């Protein structure tokens, strides 16, 4: 009996030692206590929240090294016609030195008509024919040699125009000299403008009368044409001419283009043109030839 009891005691002791060792091993595992609590608590296991990985930083786009070009300034076009060219003028040499675009309208059959047309063309300017036409106060005012009159037939008008074109070299357009009576006559202007268009000319109405028929006829013919906006030098005075030039610029700002007419014999006009030329570009204006602003 004693022997049997001793054996049982030894077995019990060994069992206790093994349990102690197993417990020590289990307790040494990380998180084992939390697992035991979760299993014995009877509650639902809440999975551990995972932190979402940080979104990658957006790549910074390198700015273009080239400066952004600002939109071009809207420019208005000014066309200046210098009328009554053909008489001898001491200003011709000064006009040849002008550094902007001008269009010279030359009266046919005058002493310097051919010479000045060639000279100005070779200096880079545009040439027109200043066509003499009947005024309302004829014969008190004489329009000049070869003028068009309301009683001219088609053949007579075409013959006169043919001679003018032959007399003025390098001309690409025309406008009327006087003509307050002639431009009102629908028949005469239809004959004249039809012929000029066939010869490749554009036409500018000097608007010596508010009753001109030029616009209507030119539009019907689909002819390159335009009309004068401002007379610059009805008074040969610098202050007056400057004011008229400002009116021309106002018209150009409103419509995008404007045509002004001055006269060769007025020295003050040339002075104003030279002065205005220095600031036109800064003010948003471009000085152009008449052919650059005509339409149909």
Angle at 135 between CA 129 and CA 138, to 5 degrees: 125
Is the pLDDT confidence value at 260 over 90? yes
| All domains of the chain in start order, with CATH | 76-292 (3.20.20.370)
pLDDT tens-digit map of 143-180 = 999 999 999 999 999 999 999 999 999 999 999 999 99
Q: For the chain, what's the residue count?
A: 296
Instruction: Please report the pLDDT score of residue 75 as a whole number.
Output: 86
Half-sphere exposure (Cβ direction) of 243: Cα atoms closer than 13 Å: 7
> What's the rounded Cα separation, in Å, for the pair 242 and 219?
33
pLDDT digits (tens, 9 = 90+) for 209-237: 999 999 999 999 999 999 999 999 999 99
Q: pLDDT tens digits for 23-68?
A: 554 445 544 444 434 443 444 433 344 444 444 444 333 334 344 4
Q: What is the pLDDT of residue 230?
A: 98
Q: Is the C-alpha dihedral spanning 257, 281, 287, 79 positive or negative?
A: positive
- Rounding to the nearest 10 degrees, give the CA dihedral for residues 145, 113, 176, 200: 110
Instruction: Give yes or no for residue 12 having a pLDDT over 90.
Output: no
pLDDT at 35: 45
pLDDT score recorded for residue 273: 98
The DSSP-derived string for 163-196 is HHHHHSTTEEEEEEEE-TTGGG-HHHHHHHHHHH
- Are 252 and 76 within 8 A, CB to CB? yes
* Cβ partners under 8 Å of residue 106, min gap 6: 85, 86, 113, 116, 117, 127, 128, 129, 130, 168, 171
Q: What is the DSSP letter of 263?
A: E
Q: Is the pLDDT of residue 22 over 90?
A: no
Q: What is the pLDDT of residues 186-198, one digit of tens each?
A: 999 999 999 999 9
pLDDT over 70 (residue 275): yes
pLDDT of amino acid 295? 85
Confidence (pLDDT) at 23: 55
Place of tokens 């036109």: 280
Report the mean per-residue pLDDT for the chain: 85
Does pTM top 0.85 for this prediction?
no
CA distance linking residue 41 with residue 35, whole number of Å? 10
C-alpha 268: how far from chain center: 31
* Contact predicate 132/146, CB 8 Å: yes
Question: Tens digits of per-residue pLDDT, 81-116?
Answer: 999 999 999 999 999 999 999 999 999 999 999 999
């Amino acid at each position: 009996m004693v022997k049997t009891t001793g054996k049982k005691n030894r077995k019990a002791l060994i069992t206790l030692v093994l349990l102690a060792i197993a417990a020590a091993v289990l307790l040494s595992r990380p998180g084992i206590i939390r697992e035991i609590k979760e299993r014995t608590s009877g509650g639902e296991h809440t999975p551990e929240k995972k932190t979402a990985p940080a979104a990658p930083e957006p790549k910074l786009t390198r700015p273009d090294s080239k400066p952004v070009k600002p939109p071009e300034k809207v420019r208005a076009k000014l066309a200046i016609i210098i009328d009554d060219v053909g008489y001898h003028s001491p200003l011709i040499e000064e006009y040849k030195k002008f550094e902007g675009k001008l269009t010279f309208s030359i009266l046919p059959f005058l002493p310097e008509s051919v010479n000045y047309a060639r000279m100005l063309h070779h200096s880079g300017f545009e040439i027109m024919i200043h066509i003499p036409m009947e005024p309302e106060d004829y014969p008190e005012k004489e329009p000049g040699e070869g003028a068009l009159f309301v009683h001219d037939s088609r053949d007579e008008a075409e013959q006169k125009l043919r001679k003018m074109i032959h007399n003025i070299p390098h001309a690409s357009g025309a406008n009327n000299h006087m003509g307050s009576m002639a431009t009102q006559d629908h028949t005469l202007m239809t004959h004249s403008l039809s012929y000029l268009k066939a010869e490749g000319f554009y036409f500018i109405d000097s608007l010596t009368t508010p009753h001109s028929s030029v616009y209507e006829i030119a539009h019907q013919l689909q002819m390159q044409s335009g009309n004068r906006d401002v007379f610059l030098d009805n008074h040969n005075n610098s202050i007056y001419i400057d004011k008229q030039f400002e009116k021309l610029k106002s018209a150009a700002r409103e419509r995008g283009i404007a045509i002004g007419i001055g006269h060769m014999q007025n020295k003050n006009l040339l002075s104003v043109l030279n002065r205005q030329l220095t600031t036109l570009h800064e003010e948003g204006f471009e000085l152009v030839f008449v052919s650059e602003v005509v339409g149909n």
